[in-house]
């Protein structure tokens, strides 16, 4: 059932998947933050040391040692079906499966891994599976496995099917992806890269067969439901470590001697300890009970207490805190109102209050990640409106509110009916840094003359309110996240084509259709320019010439900067902690910490080895 005419700004299958499972991708985002204070026992093995080599860090020696890490889900409840979002594994994913293609955020470069090579052209992509990659049962990972994985994604909202028409096997180790129409190769690469070899055909083939042979929509929905309810706790993986056991407190993963990178790993086990939330994880780092925390929001007061042996990698998340203004709630449907709010908000103060160690603020509020703005906007960056990144621009804000039809009486801004404008901010109650950011924004708006306060709800209720448009200002992520957000097409599509925003985590309805023509001030001169958003975003997806791509990115970034369909405030910088106590690590500041996640990626590369007690 491939879509023969792929639509670059819609993901009906994603929305259908959410309806069928009752859960959206943002549930996983919430889980990865850890517990209710979030940001957004040893097992022996008969395989002891296999060499008498006296150098503990030698790759010729496999030590009866373990790397202690953390996770935020009860280990015995964790399952490994990528199509089932309930209790889906967090860091265990990186132990038992292999990422198709890694991404180094510092260098902005892809690193081939489970996919050892690819050829990506505008109309077709060919990927090659790494030599020697086998499932834990000894069977080779083949193109049949990857084809099954991609074809199941067709029914579960996989992003590949926005661009692909079909996938075909070319022998046992190659797969050909035929694109529905010409597509920018960078988009295709990012879409392929962030997949894991987690779908052996021997396990998932039967689910695909049931879906494909369904004779009615009801039968197909039932078959998809069976797939999304499947919850394997002992996965057939192919990664560098194999799951050994799990209980309420810990999971044990043992080194896979048959993995192509096994010779780089000189310790026998990972132990993944359940900490539940940030408070307990901070204490584990402070006490030395763990060697790593793959991702952990850590405020300055905790960082200042950590022993010197802790090192932190900060790969960008390309994801962060923003506000979605409900266009259906007057006067937020007026561009001048949104611009006025942006002039009021002091983004630097919000970041300093919420989490200065793990967040940055974008200099330019637009649909480009902060770390990529200089690269893509270049010398023209100063022509974009900053709205006052580190201060409230009072006179400009007041002028915009007046243009929006508001009047100021007695220090308060009132609408045409004489009522003080209400600007409540919806926020997930358990996301502590978001709560602080939202509270700071509300305080700034209140000080400026609006009635603004927090509407704090549990995350499940917030998901429903996002989807139903039940808010005035909603705390929401203004970037879709991950390596792909480094390429501006993805955040542009996320902000300017509302259907797409559902593909990057959660569906949100905020009254911005993305289908109408928008008239904005001219970017290159006086007067105005009119842009048809949906065709313009689609054109960007299909443009191949790099100079034309850069021009189109600037044009659409300008539209986002003027229209402000979302209000960008902060961008998260991941904090990934590793201890050098007993471990050989790259020097501090090395770009080797810029691939996710250091505690699972560095050992595979031989860049994190056991050094002895």
Half-sphere exposure of 210 (CA within 13 A, CB side): 16
User: Given this model, what pLDDT does residue 9 score?
Assistant: 33
**Can you name the residues that pair with 251 across neighbouring β-strands?**
246, 272
**Can you name the residues that pair with 111 across neighbouring β-strands?**
102
Q: Tell me: the pLDDT tens digits for 484-539?
A: 999 999 999 999 987 654 444 457 888 887 777 899 999 888 899 999 999 999 99
Collapsed DSSP state (helix, strand, coil) of residue 133: coil
Count of all residues that appear for the chain in the document: 613
**Can you name the residues that pair with 531 across neighbouring β-strands?**
518
Two tokens, residue 144: 């049949």
Burial grade of 395 (CB within 10 A; 0-12, 13-18, 19 or more)? exposed
Torsion, Cα of 209, 12, 530, 524 (10° steps): -60
Kindly give, in sequence order, each residue whose CB lies less than 8 Å from that of residue 362, ignoring residues fewer than 6 positions away. 347, 368, 369, 370, 373, 389, 568, 571
Closest CA to 289 of 302, 268, 272, 277: 272
The residue-averaged pLDDT of 169-181 equals 97
Are the CB atoms for 351 and 361 separated by under 8 Å?
yes
Two tokens, residue 214: 């369904």
C-alpha to C-alpha distance for 206 and 152, rounded to whole angstroms: 11
- List Cα–Cα distances, 295 to 29, 221, 582, 583, in angstroms: 12, 36, 20, 19
> H/E/C letters for each residue in 25-70?
CHHHHHHHHCCCCECCCCCCCCCCCCCCCCCCCCCCCCEEEEEEEE
Fold for the domain defined by 63-81+239-315+574-610: D-Maltodextrin-Binding Protein; domain 2 (3.40.190)
For residue 606, pLDDT beyond 90: yes
Q: State the angle between helix axes of 533-542 and 489-496 in degrees (0 to 180), rounded to the nearest 10.
A: 160
Kindly give, in sequence order, each residue whose CB lies less than 8 Å from that of residue 212, ignoring residues fewer than 6 positions away. 151
Q: Tell me: the pLDDT tens digits for 325-361?
A: 999 999 999 999 999 999 999 999 999 999 888 889 9
Two tokens, residue 358: 């793990």
User: Given this model, what pLDDT does residue 56 score?
Assistant: 53
C-alpha 353: how far from chain center = 23
Q: Where are the domains of the chain?
A: 63-81+239-315+574-610, 98-229, 317-572
- The CATH superfamily of 98-229 is Dipeptide-binding Protein; Domain 1 (3.90.76.10)
Answer yes or no: pTM beyond 0.85.
no
User: Given this model, what pLDDT does residue 499 score?
Assistant: 64
Fold for the domain defined by 317-572: Dipeptide-binding Protein; domain 3 (3.10.105)
Most confident of the following: 25-39, 53-67, 456-470, 560-574: 560-574
Torsion, Cα of 90, 156, 26, 94 (10° steps): 20
Are the CB atoms for 239 and 96 separated by under 8 Å?
yes
Give the residue carrying structure tokens 């405020």. 299
For residue 59, pLDDT beyond 80: no
C-alpha to C-alpha distance for 50 and 61, rounded to whole angstroms: 6
**Backbone phi and psi for residue 314, each to the nearest 5 degrees, phi listed first:** -125, 60
Kindly give, in sequence order, each residue whose CB lies less than 8 Å from that of residue 75, ignoring residues fewer than 6 positions away. 246, 247, 248, 249, 250, 251, 272, 274
Q: Which helix (H) or strand (E) holds 473?
A: strand 473-477
Two tokens, residue 180: 């529905």
Are the CB atoms for 227 and 134 separated by under 8 Å?
no
Q: Tell me: the pLDDT tens digits for 9-42?
A: 333 344 444 444 444 344 334 333 434 445 553 2
In this structure, of 62-66, 87-91, 150-154, the range with the lowest mean pLDDT score is 87-91
Q: What is the mean pLDDT of the chain?
A: 89
DSSP per position, 523-560 = SSSSSEEEEEHHHHHHHHHH---HHHHHHHHHHHHHHH
The residue-averaged pLDDT of 207-225 equals 97
Q: pLDDT band at residue 467, thresholds of 50, 70 and 90?
A: confident
Collapsed DSSP state (helix, strand, coil) of residue 599: helix
């Amino acid at each position: 059932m491939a879509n023969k005419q792929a639509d670059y700004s819609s993901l009906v299958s994603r929305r259908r998947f959410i309806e069928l499972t009752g859960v959206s991708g943002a549930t996983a985002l919430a889980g990865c933050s850890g517990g209710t204070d979030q940001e957004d026992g040893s097992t022996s093995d008969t395989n002891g040391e296999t060499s008498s080599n006296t150098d503990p860090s030698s790759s010729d020696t496999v030590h009866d040692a373990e790397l202690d890490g953390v996770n935020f889900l009860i280990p015995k409840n964790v399952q490994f079906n990528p199509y089932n979002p309930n209790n889906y594994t967090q860091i265990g994913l990186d132990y038992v499966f292999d990422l198709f293609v890694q991404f180094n955020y510092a260098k902005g470069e892809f690193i081939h891994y489970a996919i050892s090579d690819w050829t990506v052209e505008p109309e077709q992509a060919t990927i090659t599976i790494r030599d020697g990659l086998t499932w834990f049962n000894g069977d080779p990972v083949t193109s049949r496995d990857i084809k099954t994985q991609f074809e199941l994604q067709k029914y579960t909202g996989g992003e590949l099917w926005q661009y692909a028409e079909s996938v075909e096997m070319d022998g046992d180790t190659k797969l050909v992806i035929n694109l529905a129409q010409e597509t920018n190769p960078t988009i295709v690469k990012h879409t392929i890269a962030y997949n894991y070899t987690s779908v052996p055909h021997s396990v998932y083939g039967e689910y695909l067969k049931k879906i494909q042979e369904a004779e009615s929509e009801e039968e197909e929905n039932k078959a998809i439901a069976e797939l999304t309810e499947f919850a394997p706790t002992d996965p057939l993986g192919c990664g560098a470590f194999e799951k050994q056991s799990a209980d309420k407190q810990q999971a044990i993963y043992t080194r896979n001697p048959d993995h192509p990178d096994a010779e780089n790993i000189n310790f026998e086990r990972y132990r993944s300890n359940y900490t539940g939330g940030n408070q307990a994880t901070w204490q584990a780092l402070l006490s030395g009970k763990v060697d790593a925390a793959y991702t952990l929001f850590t405020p300055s007061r905790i960082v200042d207490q950590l022993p010197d042996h802790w090192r932190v990698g900060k790969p960008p998340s390309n994801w962060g805190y923003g506000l979605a203004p409900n266009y259906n709630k007057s006067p937020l449907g007026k561009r001048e109102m949104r611009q006025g709010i942006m002039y009021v908000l002091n983004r630097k103060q919000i970041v300093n209050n919420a989490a200065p160690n793990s967040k940055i603020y974008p200099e330019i509020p637009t649909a480009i990640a902060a770390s990529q703005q200089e690269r893509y906007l270049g010398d023209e960056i100063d022509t974009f409106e900053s709205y006052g990144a580190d201060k409230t621009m009072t006179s400009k804000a007041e002028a915009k509110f007046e243009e929006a039809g508001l009047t100021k009486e007695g220090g308060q801004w009132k609408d045409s009916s004489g009522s003080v404008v209400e600007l409540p901010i919806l926020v997930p109650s358990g996301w502590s840094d978001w709560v602080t950011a939202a509270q700071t924004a509300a305080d700034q708006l209140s000080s400026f003359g609006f009635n603004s306060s927090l509407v704090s709800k549990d995350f499940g209720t917030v998901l429903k309110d996002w989807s139903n448009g039940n808010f005035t200002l909603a705390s929401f992520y203004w970037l879709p996240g991950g390596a792909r957000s480094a390429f501006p097409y993805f955040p542009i599509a996320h902000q300017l084509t509302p259907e797409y925003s559902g593909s990057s985590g959660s569906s949100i309805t905020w009254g911005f259709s993305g289908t109408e023509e928008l008239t904005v001030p001219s970017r290159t001169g006086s007067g105005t320019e009119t842009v048809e958003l949906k065709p313009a975003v689609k054109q960007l997806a299909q443009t191949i010439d790099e100079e034309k791509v850069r021009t189109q990115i600037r044009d659409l970034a300008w539209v986002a900067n003027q229209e402000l369909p979302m209000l960008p405030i902060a961008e998260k910088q991941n904090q990934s902690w590793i201890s050098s106590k007993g471990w050989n690590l790259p020097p501090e500041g090395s770009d080797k910490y810029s691939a996710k996640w250091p505690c699972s990626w560095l050992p595979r590369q031989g860049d994190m080895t056991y050094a002895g007690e």
